[in-house]
Amino acid sequence: MDYYNINELEPIDKSQIKTLYKKSKASEGGSILVWGDCIGRPGDNIYRLLQIEEFDEGMYLFNFSKSDIILKEPNKVYINEFIIAVECCNEIIWHDRSSGLKIRYSFNPSSKSLIANVLKGSHNPVISINEPAFMLAW
């Protein structure tokens, strides 16, 4: 079994995300990828997940040691020993507090289009619709 391949995992109920994430080693520190995009190379920046909050129906805040990520309307959430992943999401806003970078990733399910807009800072997003919307990998 490939623990990093979400196609080999069963999704969990979104209501369990706030408790189950603590069982994954990824929450202790890992690399963040948003539709395959990351700040630096995977492994360069390690993020420790402090908490997950649902602050509005369908909106989740992932609070990390040096970043905040908001996921709007995530579906198919996967958690195992090594990853916390979301297969698809309408919008993700990533604010990296250490660099000041802020990026909005938007997915349109009807047209299957994906765009990334850098709201603050300098970054050249490299995104792929074939990658999970969000992944924290240990």
Instruction: Tell me how far apart the alpha carbons of residues 33 and 134 are, in angstroms, rounded to a whole number.
Output: 6
Instruction: Tell me how far apart the alpha carbons of residues 29 and 105 are, in angstroms, rounded to a whole number.
Output: 23
What pLDDT tens digit does each residue of the chain (138 aa) get? 455 677 778 888 888 888 888 888 888 888 999 999 988 776 777 899 999 998 888 899 999 999 999 999 998 999 888 889 999 999 999 999 988 999 999 999 899 999 999 999 999 999 999 999 999 988
Could you tell me if 53 and 18 are in contact, meaning their C-beta atoms sit under 8 angstroms apart? Answer: yes
pLDDT of residue 39: 82
Instruction: Tell me how far apart the alpha carbons of residues 93 and 70 are, in angstroms, rounded to a whole number.
Output: 5
Count Cα neighbours of 51 within 13 Å in the Cβ-side half-sphere.
Answer: 3
Instruction: Tell me how far apart the alpha carbons of residues 61 and 77 are, in angstroms, rounded to a whole number.
Output: 14
Instruction: For residue 17, give the DSSP letter.
Output: H
Compute the C-alpha angle 51/54/55, nearest 5°.
110
Instruction: For residue 13, give the DSSP letter.
Output: P
Instruction: Tell me how far apart the alpha carbons of residues 113 and 96 are, in angstroms, rounded to a whole number.
Output: 24
pLDDT of residue 60: 93
pLDDT of residue 70: 97
pLDDT of residue 2: 57
pLDDT of residue 42: 67
Gyration radius (Cα) of the chain, Å: 14
Domain ranges of the chain: 6-137
